[in-house]
Structure 1
Amino acid sequence: MSDIETTTVSEEGYACTSQVGEFDLQIDATDETGPNPNAALVATYASCFLPAFRVGGSQRGEEDLGTVQIDASADLDGDDDLTAIAFDIHVEADLDDDTAADVVERAEGICHVHSALRDELHADISVYPGAF
């Protein structure tokens, strides 16, 4: 049994509903009923990086970062493939440049999505025709 199991269903069109544990997640390639997959990936990355940033701060002795906000942006090529992702991290605490850089470096080592975004991590795909 795998550590993470999800089920994603599309009955028609380009909208999908993924069952993730007890949660339903709506993703729509056309942005009509939910965010598109690229936007969802960027939001997931930021949602993983933010708590990793807090842990990195704690490891650096910065226990109270206050409010932390990540404004994420991403660039797409002509095929709508992601080519770049950027985070602007706004922190209530007054961190000096060296501390901020150290916290970011620690967060990069902690964030699971950051670690997963590499070429060699692609799905192993099997197709089962006539399943329904």
Structure 2
Amino acid sequence: MSDIETTTVSDEGYACTSQVGDFDLQIDATGETGPDPNTALVATYASCYIPAFRVGAQQRGIEDLGTVQIDASAELDDDDDLASIAFDLHVEADVDDDDLDEIVARGEDICHVHSALREELQADIAAYADAF
């Protein structure tokens, strides 16, 4: 048996609904009725990276980061394929630069989406502490 199983259906056009456990996820290649696949991937990446970043902080003895926000951006190539991804990571806690760099790197090691992407698509992360 597989570790992950989903079912994706498109009744017509370019919109799809994926059944993911008890959740419906709607993706539309045209971006009309839901996010397009590239946008969904970037959002999924950020949603995976934030918990990984929090775990990395806990491993360095920093328990309370407060609010963590990623402003993600991505560039597309001429074929509308993802060419690059960047994260501006804002952390409420006042974390010193050395710890912040270590936590960013640890988050990259822990994040499953980061690991799944080819190296040139892994996010270029700029992190800012004491951001809120």
TM-score (norm 1): 0.88
Q: Percent identity?
A: 79
* CA deviation map 1:3-34 (0-9, x unaligned): 00000010110000000000000000111110
Q: How many residues align?
A: 119
> Residue 71 of structure 1: SS of its match in structure 2?
strand
Matched residue, 1:57: 57
> Residue 84 of structure 2: SS of its match in structure 1?
strand
Give runs of aligned pairs for residues 91-130 of structure 1, distance below 5 A: 91-118=91-118
Matched residue, 1:43: 43
> Deviation at 1:118?
2.5
Superposition RMSD in Å: 0.9
Gaps of 5+ in 1: 120-132
TM-score (norm 2): 0.88
> Deviation at 1:109?
0.7
CA distance in 2, matches of 1:96, 1:74: 28
Does residue 76 of structure 1 match 2:71?
A: no
CA distance in 1, matches of 2:60, 2:72: 24
> Deviation at 1:79?
0.7
* CA deviation map 1:24-73 (0-9, x unaligned): 00000111110000000000000000000000000011100000001110
Which of structures 1 and 2 has the larger relative contact order (alpha carbons within 8 angstroms, sep 6+)?
2
